[in-house]
A and B are shown apart, each in its own frame.
Chain A
Amino acid sequence: MAVCVYRTSRVLVQGITGKEGSYHAKACKDYGTKIVAGVTPGKGGQEVDGIPVFNTVEEAVKETHPNVSLIFVPPPFAADAILEAVGSGIKTIVCITEGIPVLDMVKVKRVIEKEGVTLIGPNCPGIITPGATKIGIMPGHIFTRGSIGIMSRSGTLLYETADQITRAGLGQSTCVGIGGDPIVGTDYIFWLKQFEEDPETEAMMIVGEIGGNAEEKAAEFIKSGAIKKPVFAFIAGRTAPPGRRMGHAGAIIMGKSGTAESKYQALREAGVHVIENPGVIGETIAKVLKEKAII
């Protein structure tokens, strides 16, 4: 089992002829992901590493029946690319693009909510089920199949966490980068539900950061009793100065809201195992799970 994407997922790559698109389409294919088609307007009829390229998503869907789209389209056109995928009936979309205007995402969010589309990202590394399928830009070899589900707002921090979990002798069921922008397609709650239902996942890890209140909302949801499996969490940016955007558009402390402290407090009150030292994420998870006799 896995979460959201599977070995059988048929993936379309939008922006496949670009530098990043072509490189990562190949890397995903090499990992075992079924990349069935690519789209770049004006480049229809070409091939990238044996993958057929179409002018429109509609055409690609008709010919190759993808059910997931992976998007590498540049920021000015990325929102349109997402909506094009939605318009052609694709229900799972992974958008890697960083730098999409917020008001574009306001419209996208409105549409995906109405159409019941799962949008992962934007501004994210994608999603991986180790050993089965990789739909994104993460280095595949640092992941090991196992029982921990990871959800992260940051890319490299997702790698760091997965790596520590692997080194601690554990593995990951599915790892997802939910994105570092103020408006993203899915929140922690969506993934908490997915991991709770997934028989392979035995514990979950929230990798959060300062800004917004996604972690507080996740804490509220966990507190309501909806999640029975153990949840761990780390929040990046405790030492970040307020009012400054820390790289990610969404990572900013405004006034008193969005601080690491408020997130830690909410998570702690919800019974989440809070890991405040990012150097011991892997070993802490292993230790707690052993104590609970889960592993």
Chain B
Amino acid sequence: MKLHEYQAKEVLANYGIPVPEGRVTYFPDDAWMVSMELGLPVVLKAQVLTGGRGKAGGVKIARTSDEVREIAQELFGKKLVTKQTGPEGVVIRKLLVEKAADIERELYFSIVVDRTTSRPTVIASKRGGMSIEEVAEKYPEDIIKIPIDPVTGFLPYQIRRLKYDLGLMAQEKEAAKIFSALYKVFVEKDCSLLELNPLVVTKTGHLLAVDAKMDIDDNALFRRKEIAKMRDLTEADPDELEARFSGLNFIKLQGNIGCMVNGAGLAMTTMDIIKLAGGEPANFLDVGGEATPETIAKGFEIITRDPKVKAIFINIFGGIVRCDKVANGILQALKKVEVKIPVVIRLTGMNREEGMEILKKSGLKFYVANDLKEAAKMVSELANNGGEKSVVEAKKVETKQQNEKKEK
């Protein structure tokens, strides 16, 4: 779960980490009033859950009262298109208005869990303000990496080293306090990323977290209720949200073949093989370990809501989920949700025969494939040939395959 910058700064402030004075606002007038309280100049920052805000024009400085009004008018309701949002962008609904800092120099500081060493790792650099990937590429020698032993925590000698490497001798005490507080936040809030870029040294010689990014481990939200409450649902895709509430793992994509699969790995593989067969997946959908008729029906409902979808591919490898149960679920779902586009079903694994028997007896119309390759080919042809019109063609494919099998 990603936090907004203003939310992250609230958390940091509670741990005594200095952040600029400011407030989140929801209307242009509101932004103007806050700026008058704070005193000019101010920085207006779009609060959207995506990276690359600054480059996309979502962060602006205002030096006069008129500028505040102009910029606030411009930013509120604007569609911000960043590298990460894709062409559809994200609408700005909140602006953080902050007192502009007098910056002497910019540093970079972050903590992540390094998957290679399985340790929380502090990454820091004298070169703040630009992306750390860019620093890594251009000035690899300027990146400091300190792995932290979870048992001992962020040790004084490691903090000392960091202070020297970042040239913070003048801020000695302050820096030590801030660095150890940052590690405390990371652990106590179950962060998967805590990034200050930049962390600045002000003209008066103090440290200030001018920007803050905080991602929380979803698996830990059960014990971080105060953080879970901060979740902003306004930017999430409504279909994805609905799926999540039904226990489905759904991600919308751009293609025209709806997919329903059990297991994340198999669901990704299904997308891959559809693409190889010349089709385009419309979604990633993992129905999970407990596919009930209700969850399958919900899956159908969400998939068929997308008008782009021209065919559906159900790919189930029975394990914990048995094929007969899935078949019953599909039948129940098809009774509840009217599906007008062709459905290709591939069932295998636990209780496959029973499952296939149930489907055959139902009298409902769908296409049955024996393996992944065949299924992908079938569904891609159905989708590319414009759905229903191609049904006859696909039947031919099916009969041809059956004939071939008989010959064998």
Contacts and interface: CB of A to CB of B under 8 A. Distances in A.
Interface in B361-408: 371-373, 376
A100 B219 contact: yes
A240 B271 contact: yes
A68 to B, nearest CB: 21
A130 interface: no
A244 B319 contact: no
Interface in A230-284: 234, 236-241, 243-244, 246-251, 255-256, 276-280
Contact of B116 (A110, A217, A239, A280): A217
Given A102-B219, A163-B317, A246-B251, A238 B116 contact: no
A180 B264 contact: yes
A249 B372 contact: no
Given A102-B220, A138-B319, A279 B265 contact: no
Interface residues on A, range: 35 or more
Given A106-B119, A163-B317, A247-B249, A239 B113 contact: no
B184 interface: no
A80 B318 CA distance: 31
A156 B286 CA distance: 11
Interface residues on B, range: 35 or more
Most buried by B among A105, A153, A207: A105
Interface in B273-290: 273-276, 281, 284, 286
B52 to A, nearest CB: 11
A87 interface: no
A139 B323 CA distance: 12
Contacts of A105: 118
B230 interface: no
Contacts of A250: 115
Interface in B99-146: 113, 115-116, 118-120, 133
Interface of A: 75-76, 99-107, 109-110, 125, 137-139, 141-142, 152-160, 163-164, 180, 182-183, 207, 209-210, 212-214, 217, 234, 236-241, 243-244, 246-251, 255-256, 276-280
Interface of B: 84, 113, 115-116, 118-120, 133, 149-151, 187, 190, 192, 217-220, 222-223, 249, 251, 253, 261-269, 271-276, 281, 284, 286, 317-320, 348-350, 371-373, 376
5 contacts: A104-B220, A156-B317, A247-B265, A278-B273, A279-B273
Given A246-B251, A277-B276, 15 more contacts: A75-B219, A75-B222, A101-B190, A103-B217, A106-B118, A107-B150, A107-B151, A110-B119, A139-B349, A158-B265, A182-B115, A236-B272, A238-B272, A239-B253, A276-B276
